[in-house]
Amino acid sequence: MDKKRNAANNYIEKYKNLAVKTSLQPALHFTPPLGWMNDPNGLIFFNGHYHLFYQYHPYETKWRQMYWGHAVSDDLITWRDLPIALAPSESYEDSPEGGCFSGTALEHEGMLYLFYTAVARNAAGDLVQKQCAAMSEDGLHFSKYENNPIIQTDHLGNENSHFRDPKVWKHDNTFYMLVGVSQDQVGKLALYKSENLFDWTFVNIVFEEPGGWMLECPDFYELDGQEVLTFSPVGIKGEYSTYLIGKMDYQEGVFHVESRGILDYGVDFYAPQTFLSTNGERYVIGWQNGWEWMDEWNGFGALTENNWCGAMSMPRRVSIRNKQLYSTIPDQVTALEGAQIIINDTQTNGYLKKVTEIQTPSIIELSLKSGESPITLMFKDQRTGMEDRFIIEDQLRYHSNENPLGRKTLTMPLAKKENRVKIILDLYSMEVFAEGEGTVLSVNSFFKGACEREFSFSCCEDDRIEKLVVTKLNAKRLITG
């Protein structure tokens, strides 16, 4: 049964050096040891460590049959790779286009349970999705539940090819599971309940979204005395990670929505999941890519040539203010701040001013007084001429001169005229935080070879910029093996 997992682990051991080309890896963001990675799965603190599982295919840098990769951390920043947790070893999950799809982790009576979607072809040859469980005593070795799958059909009794990504939690001594399901082209979230984690009964459809045909990777948690439901809708243009704040009615099986928003305004943040930290904080991590930009129709620049593809976002601390979900840069990241370049000469007179060569990872911090005049922050690769611009007016706009395959200008609302914008810059990624609004826009900028980035800015009103600082982040390089 463990043959497939052992084979994959041996393969990674043998070839992982091919992917470790340090200057061509993000210094701060989690990347897989080798091969392809997408969604974060089963984020949990268990046995003294934070565990990150993820959608993984070790043998190629493309999405293929899915495994669950595994890494642990003590601070959510520095990760140590562990052997693969789940391999698609069973007949109910062994299709080449299937495998062990996304899900969650839960601790119960000292054991770690993983819930995931098994994907294989049925007798009629259709790829179908079923919910499964696996468990572990030590958080390292997992065995699949002998009576898998635990949920075979959707609530209409059909084997369904879009019925996936279980999120499991405990409430008032009962276990609940949310599963994304598509019926008649409508994306829905189905709620189940169980007393023992293995026998599940359908409660109701708690939420449906007619604008999207599938709702992927739900997460559900209590935060600041309220309840938050998140998912990644498929089919809503420009919306890749949605949050709802409201109240779950467990009796009726309905989530009463009080407000709705977007977790990230960029294109490179998908399938977010959260950690509950040891001191009760919530941290969200997303896959720092998106299907729209997948290799088949876009390309990930040099990544695939370097034998790895896919990164996780930095963890973001989430909280609720005024019925909105606020994402902020957590202390674990600011603790890495090192040398600073304070830019006090703001006499730019409207032209773009070269400021400095920039190293990654860094944080660019811009504090703005109220005013009308737009401000542009620009990163330019001297070798290729590739430019990434952030233009701050009544909203923040991102524009790239490369615009691969019709990449459009992205925008993020900026409610106030005063603001503090911080950009976490790593090798291929830019995560822009508007601190006043608690919003984020994530976008990747892929290039080949080493990058020589130059940072410049412009502003017509000289005294609008209160502070502009470039701070190097002292990344602890990821420990592998």
CB atoms within 10 A of CB 322: 7
If the CB atoms of residues 162 and 464 are measured against ligand FRU, the closer one turns out to be 162
Q: Which of 5, 39, 76, 459 binds ligand FRU (CB under 6 A)?
A: 39
Task: List binders of ligand FRU among 233-262 (CB under 6 A).
Answer: none
102 binds ligand FRU (CB under 6 A): yes
Q: Which of 81, 93, 94, 165 binds ligand FRU (CB under 6 A)?
A: 165
Beta carbon of residue 310, minimum distance to ligand FRU (angstroms, whole number): 11
360 binds ligand FRU (CB under 6 A): no
Q: Which of 25, 31, 38, 419 binds ligand FRU (CB under 6 A)?
A: 38
Beta carbon of residue 59, minimum distance to ligand FRU (angstroms, whole number): 15
Element (H, E) at 192: strand 186-194
Beta carbon of residue 292, minimum distance to ligand FRU (angstroms, whole number): 11
Kind of pairing between the strands at 308-309 and 35-46 = parallel
Q: Which of 39, 165, 264, 268 is catalytic?
A: 39
Per DSSP, the chain holds a count of helices (H) and strands (E) of 2, 33
CA–CA dist 265, 446 (Å, integer): 19
Question: Is 2 among the catalytic positions?
Answer: no
Report helix, strand or coil for 61. Answer: coil
Collect all residues with Cβ–Cβ distance below 8 Å to 475 and sequence separation of at least 6: 27, 28, 336, 361
188 binds ligand FRU (CB under 6 A): no
Q: Which two tokens stand for residue 89?
A: 């070893």
268 binds ligand FRU (CB under 6 A): no
If the CB atoms of residues 99 and 330 are measured against ligand FRU, the closer one turns out to be 99
If the CB atoms of residues 292 and 337 are measured against ligand FRU, the closer one turns out to be 292
CA atoms within 13 A on the CB side of 278: 11
Q: Which of 5, 29, 144, 164 binds ligand FRU (CB under 6 A)?
A: 164
If the CB atoms of residues 309 and 377 are measured against ligand FRU, the closer one turns out to be 309
101 binds ligand FRU (CB under 6 A): yes
If the CB atoms of residues 45 and 291 are measured against ligand FRU, the closer one turns out to be 291
- Contacts of range 212-216, beta carbons closer than 8 Å, 24 or more positions apart: 212/187, 212/236, 212/239, 213/162, 213/182, 213/185, 213/186, 213/187, 214/162, 214/180, 214/181, 214/182, 214/187, 215/180, 215/181, 215/187, 215/188, 215/189, 216/102, 216/164, 216/165, 216/180, 216/271
If the CB atoms of residues 291 and 455 are measured against ligand FRU, the closer one turns out to be 291
Task: List binders of ligand FRU among 53-82 (CB under 6 A).
Answer: 55, 66
Task: List binders of ligand FRU among 367-386 (CB under 6 A).
Answer: none
CA–CA dist 134, 115 (Å, integer): 7
Beta carbon of residue 94, minimum distance to ligand FRU (angstroms, whole number): 15
Q: Which two tokens stand for residue 141?
A: 């070795």
Which among 446, 418, 453, 457 has a CA at the least distance from the CA of 434? 418
Task: List binders of ligand FRU among 113-152 (CB under 6 A).
Answer: 117
Beta carbon of residue 56, minimum distance to ligand FRU (angstroms, whole number): 9
Beta carbon of residue 215, minimum distance to ligand FRU (angstroms, whole number): 9
Collect all residues with Cβ–Cβ distance below 8 Å to 428 and sequence separation of at least 6: 26, 301, 303, 311, 444, 445, 446, 447
If the CB atoms of residues 151 and 465 are measured against ligand FRU, the closer one turns out to be 151
Cα distances (Å, whole numbers) of residue 92 to 58, 62, 146, 168, 241: 20, 22, 12, 21, 29
271 binds ligand FRU (CB under 6 A): yes
Residue tagged 């209409």 (tokens): 156
Binding to ligand FRU by CB under 6 A, coded x per residue (else -) over 385-414, reads: ------------------------------
If the CB atoms of residues 116 and 142 are measured against ligand FRU, the closer one turns out to be 116
Q: Which of 217, 396, 430, 468 binds ligand FRU (CB under 6 A)?
A: 217
Beta carbon of residue 271, minimum distance to ligand FRU (angstroms, whole number): 5
Question: What phi and psi values does residue 59 have, to the nearest 5 degrees?
Answer: -85, -15
Give how many residues touch ligand FRU by CB under 6 A.
13
Ranked by CB distance to ligand FRU, the top (closest) residue is: 101
Q: Which residues pair with 220 in a beta bridge?
A: 229
Please say whether the beta carbons of 22 and 110 come within 8 A: no
If the CB atoms of residues 81 and 216 are measured against ligand FRU, the closer one turns out to be 216
Residues designated catalytic: 39
Residues of the shown chain interacting with ligand FRU in the complex, contacts defined by CB under 6 A? 38-39, 55, 66, 101-102, 117, 164-165, 216-217, 270-271
